[in-house]
Amino acid sequence: MAEAVLFSLATNILESIATEIAKPGGSFASQKVQLLCSAKDELQSLQDTVQTIQAVLLDAEKKQWHDNQVKLWLRRLKYVLYDVQDLFDDVATENLRRKVTSGNKMSKAVRVFFSKSNQLAHRLRVANKIRELRKELDRIKSDKELSNLEQHLSEETIGRGKKPEVPSPDEKIIGREEDKKKIKQLLFDSSSSQSASFVAIVGKGGLGKTALARLVYNDGEVKEHFGLKMWVCVSDVFNVNVVIKEILKSAKDNCQERDDDEMKKLLQDLENKPIDQLPSLLREILGRKKYLLVLDDLWNEDRDKWLKLGDWLEGGLQGSKILVTTRSHKVAEVTDAKSVIHDLNGLSEDKSWNLFRKMAFGDGVELSNPELEETGRDIVEKCAGVPLAIRTIGGLLYGKNKDEWLRYKVRELPEIREIDEVDDGIMQVLKFSYDHLPSCLKHCFAYCSLFPKDHIYEKEMMTHLWVAQGFIESRNGEDNLEEVADNYLSELLCRSFLDIASKAVDGEVLTFKMHDLMHDLAQKVAGGECKIVNFKGEDNDSGIRHASFSSEIFSEEKMVSTSKLRTFLYLGGEYSVLNSSKVFSGCRHCRALGLDNTDIPLLPSSFGKLKQLRFLDISANQSIQSLPDSIADLVNLQFLKLIGCENLKTFPRDLRKLVKLMYLKIGDCDSLSHLPPLSELPSLRTLILLSLDALEFLQQTSDPEQSDTTRPFFPSLEKLSLRFCSNLKGWWGRKLVMGAYQKHRSDNSLSSFPKLWSVNIRGCPHLNFVPPFPQVEYLSTDSTKMLEQQLMVNPNCPSEATVGSTFIPFSKLKRLVLKGRDWEPSTLETLLRLASNLESMSLIECDLRSLSHGMQHLSLLQKLEIWDCEGLDLSCQEDEHGTQWRYLTKLHVLKIGYVQNLVALPEGIQYVTTLQSLEIYQCWNLESLPEWIENFSLLEKLVLYGCPRLERLPLEMRSLTRLKEMRIGNCPALKERYLTDGREDWPEIAHIPVIVWEDGSYD
């Protein structure tokens, strides 16, 4: 990784040394061999050397960009520190293997390996290696460059506390209202004689060209104007075939959103169509609609290359538009000499200051310190109206105290030139922000350069890779590293080094992306150590530690030369090129191995030498029928993913040796009918089983004695997800095994799943028994049988209540999502009675006539969502006094969507005076809002979408003085009434600060 990794690397080494020194006699010591006796002294000396070097690393990281001698010094140091860490990793691994193997029957070969004589030889080698590395570090420490560096003994750390609030991408956009209006006018202009005409947004990097194009692309009026919308990121490499395929993919996505069956039929099976058929298919698709195509981040200046694509874009209906974003006027002119160019300028001084203030201080914060404001305005001036620079440096300063601001002003800001003075000015600002990141964030950021520009990163995968590489620090040694990694990501998002691409319904980030300039910065700071390898050039790849391979050309010779790789990720190319054992021989030091979408054969010994491996992804591999036994030797493995291995049938018998495995995901393995005893994995925190159609039972043991009932049942499991396993019937395949489990629970007074807090069970219609999960806080399910079994005693599948446990089911449940049409009112009422601590509840596609009377027990409920419950009558006469609403004394958020019977809000809701957000979606028969809406005196947000019969708003809305925002979409009568005249003509809405209509316009 970049030199930024060295501070954390040194910290990791010091922790390892401290552990070794603390062991009785030293782990390398022996009273009979003098060299081993001196190992502890060598370790102490090594510790002193590393501490001395670590103290100046933070200063060296900054100076190396302007001092080539410091850069070379850091490079020497980096290689030695990696070797030191590898050594300690090897020692710890052998110790762990010995412990794991001692608990199982050992073969003769294993006994020889762990014999006293072999251990002695191993320790001699280790002691000698320590001495060699310590001497090399001493030479580096004595270099004259060290004396010119300042000492920094500590830096900012990030733990697992509350995550910072990450704004959505659109919330970061300030000051582009007029630009958006102008682009819309150009897109709606039909005066061109061409069937498809061009509009170009041109401006330097960081001005927000893509953000502006995205605002326009998502606009409601734009959606109505164009029958087909497509978005393609082109970036540096202009490959016509690739661009055509991406356009068709985007067209397919758009047709699915619009539910266009005819177009979907034309685009089905797109991935398997021959490349030579795609251009004519593109022309046919475009010829059916008036389309909008966005070509984002276009760099091609070769007219001939463009013509190869441009010819296929002709033929759309009159009024079709191609919107291009680029940094170059020449690029815009190459696409079409008649292109209408919109030059995007920097933000005005006032808008720049507003954006900076929002990023540096937060929304609605009034500045009372004139010194901070003066410093802030100096910074904004240097940013020259470039939003990316403003957001990044504002995010850096967020939460800093007055002294830190003044230090930036006096010592560091004078060194930064204004962006307009030099072409790479913005990179200086971004580099300034990068230099002030904690080291733990620096290498997470640089690691993202392993993927190409415009890549959409999966949060889960990236955080797992960060953990596997040791980038995530635990302040007390007990933190959940995945949670800390999630906080790291949130920090990078808040500081604008990364941007959100998509969120889940609950607001959790699912995917993220990286601005092109940020990607350039990541590549710069990563140097040649973190690289996308295509083997087409003559680059010297000997220094690579982290590599992704995207080329169809694969050089086995170069693979061998990168024998110290810590990351190997395969991103694409021909499957056959990876059919070589040399891939594994080049990965002996690998911590992350991604073989997704490869058919590489896995021999019995494939994983035998990958002893440092933490992350392994073997997905979409059709050649695997059985995982090799050697996978059980990966005692350091933390993350294992097996998706789409359709011929996989069996697992190794000794999977229990994976004592550090904390994440296991198995999905779409159609031939897999048996699983190993996963409950015996002591560190497993997350278990995801997805679309395993052949699986009937999760644990199917032929002999109950093989099931170790002396251990806790899934002692560390925190998250369980069972989804779309269509034939899954229960947990155990034999009643005898289940009986042994229940007797064990009775004898030991232990509950099952002692740490399990999140459960997601869907699409498993035959599942009728799961062991109780008394600690669950989040439950999402459509499994009525399973839930009924959890709620009551079943004679055939006795629950834990029958074997001496006294826990109350669902007493800790805080969030509940129920989906499906088979819920009995009595089951739901029983559940709600027990789940009295519930804070959030979602009812989705539930066949209920009325809300359950069990809601009277939900006095702590803060959020209620009701979606697509067709038969639900919220005004049902069974509850004419609004009983189910009166007890919701803490309800803050109410969302109702796709409820056809909703003509008016039920009277009972007027008693929910704590409501802060009311959102109504696609309730087509809603005719009016009630006069008693004035009871919602705390209401801050009101959303009305898809209510065509709603013609007016009640005058009583003027009493809602706290209402900050109202969003209205697809309500034509309201739009005609309130948007045609100024808001001052309508007293019911005159006081609302922000009104957003369906077309995205602000009032």
pLDDT in tens, 41-100: 777 777 777 777 777 777 777 777 777 777 778 778 888 888 888 888 888 888 888 888
Token reading at 29: 């010591």
**CA-to-CA distance for 866 and 306, rounded, in angstroms?**
50
As a whole number, mean pLDDT of residues 876-899 equals 80
pLDDT at position 144 is 54
pLDDT at position 645 is 92
Are 695 and 728 contacting, i.e. CB atoms less than 8 angstroms apart?
Answer: yes
**CA-to-CA distance for 315 and 339, rounded, in angstroms?**
17
- Any residues with CB less than 8 A from the CB of 559 and at least 6 apart, and which? 582, 583, 586
**Which residue did the predictor score with more confidence, 598 or 864?**
864
114 pLDDT exceeds 50? no
pLDDT at position 277 is 85
* Lowest mean pLDDT across 14-23, 359-368, 932-941, 953-962: 14-23
513 pLDDT exceeds 70? yes
- How many CB atoms are closer than 10 A to CB 47? 18
Give how far the C-alpha of residue 827 lies from the chain's centroid of Cα atoms, to the nearest Å.
36
pLDDT at position 772 is 85
Long-range contacts of 350-356 (CB under 8 A, 24+ apart): 351/174, 351/175, 351/385, 352/175, 352/380, 352/383, 352/385, 352/390, 353/377, 353/380, 354/174, 354/175, 355/172, 355/174, 355/175, 355/387, 355/390, 355/391, 355/394, 356/380, 356/383, 356/390, 356/393, 356/394
- Any residues with CB less than 8 A from the CB of 861 and at least 6 apart, and which? 838, 839, 840, 841, 855, 888, 890, 891
**CA-to-CA distance for 513 and 522, rounded, in angstroms?**
13
**Which residue did the predictor score with more confidence, 902 or 21?**
902
pLDDT at position 564 is 82
pLDDT at position 394 is 87
Reported as a single tens digit per residue, the pLDDT across 534-548 is 755 555 566 788 988
Half-sphere exposure of 758 (CA within 13 A, CB side): 8
- How many CB atoms are closer than 10 A to CB 223? 18
DSSP track, 827-894? HHHHHHHH-TT--EEEEES---SS--GGGGG-TT--EEEEES-TT--TT-GGGTT-HHHHT-TT--EE
**Which residue did the predictor score with more confidence, 334 or 445?**
445
* Lowest mean pLDDT across 192-201, 417-426, 602-611, 953-962: 417-426
Give first-to-last CA distance, the chain, whole Å: 49
854 pLDDT exceeds 80? yes
**Which residue did the predictor score with more confidence, 558 or 319?**
319
The region, left, alpha or beta by phi > 0 then psi within -120 to 50, assigned to residue 288 is alpha
> Which of 656, 668, 629, 779 has its CA nearest to residue 719?
779
Rg over CA atoms, the chain:
31
pLDDT at position 509 is 92
pLDDT at position 157 is 62
Ranked by mean pLDDT, which of 258-267, 478-487, 729-738, 889-898 comes out on top?
Answer: 889-898
- How many CB atoms are closer than 10 A to CB 398? 14
pLDDT at position 703 is 43
The model's confidence at residue 448, banded by pLDDT at 50, 70 and 90, is very high
Reported as a single tens digit per residue, the pLDDT across 802-838 is 334 455 788 899 999 999 877 878 888 889 989 999 9
As a whole number, mean pLDDT of residues 357-386 equals 79
pLDDT at position 166 is 58
pLDDT at position 798 is 40
**CA-to-CA distance for 217 and 234, rounded, in angstroms?**
16
As a whole number, mean pLDDT of residues 143-172 equals 58
pLDDT at position 979 is 78
pLDDT at position 801 is 41
- Any residues with CB less than 8 A from the CB of 947 and at least 6 apart, and which? 920, 922, 923, 924, 926, 970, 971, 974
DSSP track, 987-1001? TTTTT-SEEEETTS-
For 279, list phi and psi in degrees, rounded to 5: -60, -45
The model's confidence at residue 737, banded by pLDDT at 50, 70 and 90, is low
Query: Which contiguous run of DSSP H or E holds residue 942?
Result: strand 941-945
The region, left, alpha or beta by phi > 0 then psi within -120 to 50, assigned to residue 641 is beta
Are 831 and 854 contacting, i.e. CB atoms less than 8 angstroms apart?
Answer: yes
**CA-to-CA distance for 921 and 968, rounded, in angstroms?**
10
The model's confidence at residue 986, banded by pLDDT at 50, 70 and 90, is confident
Ranked by mean pLDDT, which of 414-423, 573-582, 714-723, 839-848 comes out on top?
Answer: 714-723
> Which of 360, 476, 454 has its CA nearest to residue 408?
360
- Specify the amino acid at residue 798: P
675 pLDDT exceeds 50? yes
pLDDT at position 560 is 46
Q: Are strands 457-458 and 509-513 parallel, antiparallel or unpaired?
A: antiparallel
As a whole number, mean pLDDT of residues 32-41 equals 51
The model's confidence at residue 763, banded by pLDDT at 50, 70 and 90, is very high
701 pLDDT exceeds 60? no
Percentages helix, strand, coil for the chain, rounded to the nearest 5? 40, 15, 45
Per-residue 3-state assignment (H helix, E strand, C coil) for 633-649 = HCCCCCEEEEECCCCCC
Q: How many percent of the chain have pLDDT more than 70? A: 79
Are 14 and 47 contacting, i.e. CB atoms less than 8 angstroms apart?
Answer: yes
171 pLDDT exceeds 60? no
> Which of 222, 220, 180, 219 has its CA nearest to residue 201?
180
For 230, list phi and psi in degrees, rounded to 5: -140, 145
196 pLDDT exceeds 70? yes
pLDDT at position 412 is 72
Reported as a single tens digit per residue, the pLDDT across 562-595 is 568 899 998 865 554 455 566 677 688 899 999 8
As a whole number, mean pLDDT of residues 620-645 equals 91
743 pLDDT exceeds 70? no
Three-state DSSP state, 178: helix
623 pLDDT exceeds 90? no
Q: How many percent of the chain have pLDDT more than 90? A: 28
Where in 660-718 does DSSP place strands (E)? 663-667, 686-690, 697-699
The model's confidence at residue 739, banded by pLDDT at 50, 70 and 90, is low
Residue in the structure block whose two tokens are 């990044």: 392
Average pLDDT of the chain to the nearest whole number? 80
Reported as a single tens digit per residue, the pLDDT across 767-788 is 888 888 889 999 999 988 888 8
pLDDT at position 931 is 93
